[in-house]
Amino acid sequence: MSGGPAPTGTPLSAGSATVHRESRWLGQGYADITKLREIAAKHERLSTRNQQRAARINTRIEKLRHVAAVLREKAQRVLGTIPDIESEIAQHDRDIQAATARTGGAPIGSDVTNLHYRVRKLQQKVVDLQHKARTYDHRAAMRTQKTAELKIKSDRYLEQSKLEEQEALSYRQRADRLQAATEGEVAARLGTPGGSLTPPPPPEGL
């Protein structure tokens, strides 16, 4: 008397178990490869991000250098007007001496006091122009100092970018070596009798 219906399936053969085991091994290997390439891509992105920051800082540095150069040129133009004013002051001084000599020690008149006033105004103008030029120079020096600080920051970003690029290269090389080893192992197994990764055909008569 039958004890029940016969089982409809067949247990996995040893070859099928080997195929599944090798399939899992290959899957894990390719997962490791893709993970390494993902990490390499992350470091490459960080590298280009640091390069981007350095490029923006370098652009700002050049802008500050240009502004500093413009300010220095303004300072030179301002100082360039002073010699003409000093020549005018010297001429007034000579006029004052001549007028004083003509009076022969008598009290000076309004023409001489007017010359004194004009000399004082011109001297004040010279001092104002000198201060203006020094202000331009100071502003230019401040921008030059800022460029030096930014240059240090830019160099730090570039250095970090190189480090990230080296890390990316290291992970890419590891992924390449692992991929080559995996593909070599697959090729070796496929080229070995009985080492096929495809499951065997089912028994005949089923």
DSSP state string for 6-42: PPSS-PPPHHHHHHHHHHHHHHHHHHHHHHHHHHHHH
Higher pLDDT, 108 or 77: 77
In a domain, 1, yes or no: no
In a domain, 119, yes or no: yes
Cα angle: 119, vertex 123, 125; to 5 degrees: 115
- Its pTM stands at 0.67
CA distance 125 to 112: 20
In a domain, 145, yes or no: yes
137, 72 contact by CB (below 8 A): yes
Can you give the residue range of the structural domain that contains 89?
Answer: 18-190
Q: Which residues contact 112 (CB under 8 A, 6 or more apart)?
A: 96, 99, 100
Cα angle: 111, vertex 113, 118; to 5 degrees: 95
pLDDT at position 206: 39
In a domain, 8, yes or no: no
In a domain, 91, yes or no: yes
Per-residue pLDDT band for 189 (boundaries 50, 70, 90) equals low
Number of folded domains that form the chain:
1
In a domain, 59, yes or no: yes
In a domain, 206, yes or no: no
pLDDT digits (tens, 9 = 90+) for 98-152: 888 877 666 677 888 899 999 999 999 999 999 999 999 999 999 999 999 999 9
In a domain, 3, yes or no: no
List the CATH number of the domain containing 59: 1.10.287
